[in-house]
């Protein structure tokens, strides 16, 4: 409806809107999809090992029964005599391109196609997009990539699922191009935890005039106890004092995966919940396009950043009194933007009733707003001091930190305080110490610890593992579009499908493979798990 409003098409019809020389209609999700196996031969309605592999030649497509009415409306609109051009205004990305092209082709339309490519549903962005429509053929390769992925999913999903289900003669064993390797990540982590053997270790903690320092690790409790006894009540001597000035640069803007990971850490939101909240904000014109894998903005956005940041800061009560530097160069790099720039709030935030937003949407909007202000902010600078003490013939280490300028972390801290969450506390500052200085009357404590197994995956860490899967293999290849399992747009759905299929279960924040999931993973050959 945002498009029709800008175009002046206000007369509602059945399945479309008309007016001012425009016809505006819509796809209801995927109107057209690859046909199922039994569309090629009725015998494929029963699963049989001897029928495999099923490789369609040529590929067939079908209209879904519950969307056939809308498909027919689109076909009639495209065939109207007063329509000379069709504008593709689906989501500006690979999946949106696929949805349009399959519908256009199955309608047997041959009229010229123009492409609307926008990253925001703001009126200004829509108007600019319509003023700069692109020849649809420019996106032929994007469509080809989307169709290739869809066919690969079909071939592996249909053949793999039927193969292993018939081989093991049990319940359906779902196999997927992205699903199976993701399940394997979880299964392999569970195996590593199961086979992990905990080992005890011991350290000695020295307290010399209020300065706490730790020894190295001991495998033997007896050796650690000897050191503790040797230090008790003795003098600790400052061996070295090293002071370094350090800078922590502002973080990059959010792409979808990074936002999903941090929302899981901060609010326990699943990847799918975060995507749903962000999609809703996009449709309400409060955020830019969600399904992006870029963390930068384009050069043409640099000029408007100071005004946008001022608008965003003004909408956030916790930013009152906070400094507002805007270093646009830190977030602008067109060479690192593919289909869409990073996720940021829009200027519409100024007039929005943020308190009326559902809690999830409001939290996500605050996250992307704060990240924008942090990303263009000043660096966080501090001095780190490392001190080595000698006592009882052994070395003890400690570190301290003194903040020189809070920089962007001041903005982050202001936001976290509204959530009653503390920012990560650095090591406290150390007093002035000099080499050779003697610290009398040391106290010494024996500390026991155990080595830890690998941590189970959360949505945060699993998304990261999916994003960076096989990164070393991809690094050796030139001109690879992207690395990892799935795309920012599909990773959440993959996790949800694993859970709904009973292969993975959620326990608080953790994701654990079920017995069914483990059995399926171990049954798969390496080619499908890779």
Question: CA–CA separation, 471 vs 260, rounded Å?
Answer: 20
Q: What number of H helices and E strands is found in the chain? A: 17, 17
The strand ranges marked E within 73-180 are 86-88, 113-115, 134-135
CA atoms within 13 A on the CB side of 343: 30
According to DSSP, residue 287 is labeled B
According to DSSP, residue 385 is labeled E
Structure tokens at 449: 């610890």
Question: CA–CA separation, 524 vs 530, rounded Å?
Answer: 10
The structure tokens 């996106």 sit at: 139
Question: CA–CA separation, 466 vs 61, rounded Å?
Answer: 30
- Report CA dihedral (281, 286, 292, 298) to the nearest 10 degrees: 180
Structure tokens at 510: 């953790």
289 is catalytic: yes
- CB-based burial of residue 215 (10 Å sphere; 0-12 exposed, 13-18 middle, 19+ buried)? buried
Question: CA–CA separation, 188 vs 64, rounded Å?
Answer: 38
Tally of residues, the chain: 530
- Show the CA angle centred on residue 253, arms to residues 248 and 256, nearest 5°: 130
CA atoms within 13 A on the CB side of 470: 15
Convert 448-496 into a string of H (helix), E (strand) and C (coil).
EEECCCCCCCEHHHHHHHHHHCCHHHHHCCCCCCCCCCCCCCCHHHHHH
Structure tokens at 311: 């608008």
Is the backbone peptide bond immediately before 53 cis, with ω within 30 degrees of 0? Answer: yes
According to DSSP, residue 123 is labeled H
- Looking at 254, 269, 289, 382, which residue is catalytic? 289
Catalytic residues: 289
């Amino acid at each position: 409806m945002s498009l029709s409003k800008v175009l002046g098409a206000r007369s509602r019809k059945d399945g479309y809107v008309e007016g001012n020389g425009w016809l505006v209609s819509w796809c209801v999700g995927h109107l057209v999809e690859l046909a199922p196996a039994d569309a090629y031969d009725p015998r494929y309605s029963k699963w049989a090992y001897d029928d495999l592999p099923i490789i369609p030649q040529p590929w067939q497509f079908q209209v879904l029964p519950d969307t056939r009415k809308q498909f027919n409306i689109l076909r009639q609109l495209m065939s109207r005599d007063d329509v000379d051009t069709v504008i593709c205004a689906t989501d500006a990305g690979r999946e949106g391109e696929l949805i349009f092209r399959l519908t256009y082709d199955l309608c047997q339309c041959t009229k010229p196609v123009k492409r609307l490519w926008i990253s925001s549903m703001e009126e200004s962005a829509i108007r600019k997009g319509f003023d700069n429509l692109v020849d649809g053929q420019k996106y032929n390769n994007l469509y080809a990539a989307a169709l290739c992925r869809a066919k690969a999913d079909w071939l592996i999903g249909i053949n793999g699922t039927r193969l292993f289900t018939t081989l093991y003669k049990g319940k359906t064993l779902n196999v997927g191009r992205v699903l199976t390797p993701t399940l394997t990540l979880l299964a392999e982590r569970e195996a590593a935890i199961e086979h992990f053997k905990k080992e005890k270790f011991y350290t000695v903690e020295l307290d010399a005039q209020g300065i706490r320092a730790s020894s190295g690790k001991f495998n033997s409790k007896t050796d650690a106890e000897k050191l503790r006894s040797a230090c008790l009540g003795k003098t600790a001597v400052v061996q070295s004092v090293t002071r370094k000035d350090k800078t922590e640069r502002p973080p990059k803007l959010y792409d979808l995966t990074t936002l999903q990971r941090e929302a899981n850490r901060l609010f326990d939101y699943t990847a799918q919940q975060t995507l749903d909240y962000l999609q809703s904000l996009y449709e309400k014109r409060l955020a830019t396009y969600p399904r992006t894998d870029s963390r930068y903005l384009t050069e043409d956005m640099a000029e408007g950043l100071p005004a946008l940041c001022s608008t965003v800061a003004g909408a956030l009560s916790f930013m009152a009194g906070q400094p507002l530097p805007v270093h646009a160069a830190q977030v602008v790099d067109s060479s690192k933007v593919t289909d869409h720039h990073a996720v940021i709030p829009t200027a519409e935030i100024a007039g929005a009733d943020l308190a009326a937003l559902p809690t999830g949407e409001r939290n996500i909007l605050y996250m992307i707003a704060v990240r924008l202000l942090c990303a263009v902010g000043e660096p966080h600078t501090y001095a780190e001091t490392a001190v080595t003490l000698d006592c009882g013939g052994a070395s003890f280490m400690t570190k301290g930190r003194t903040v020189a300028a809070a920089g962007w972390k001041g903005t982050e801290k202001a936001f976290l305080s509204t959530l009653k969450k503390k920012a990560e506390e650095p090591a406290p500052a150390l007093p002035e110490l000099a080499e050779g200085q003697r610290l009398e009357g040391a106290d010494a404590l024996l500390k026991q610890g155990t080595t830890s197994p690998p941590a189970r995956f959360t949505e945060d860490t699993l998304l990261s593992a999916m994003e960076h899967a096989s990164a070393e293999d991809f690094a050796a290849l030139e001109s690879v579009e992207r690395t990892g399992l799935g795309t920012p747009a599909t990773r959440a759905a993959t996790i949800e499908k694993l859970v709904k299929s009973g292969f993975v279960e959620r326990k608080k924040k953790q994701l654990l493979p079920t017995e069914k999931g483990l059995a399926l993973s171990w049954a798969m050959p390496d080619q499908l798990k890779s």
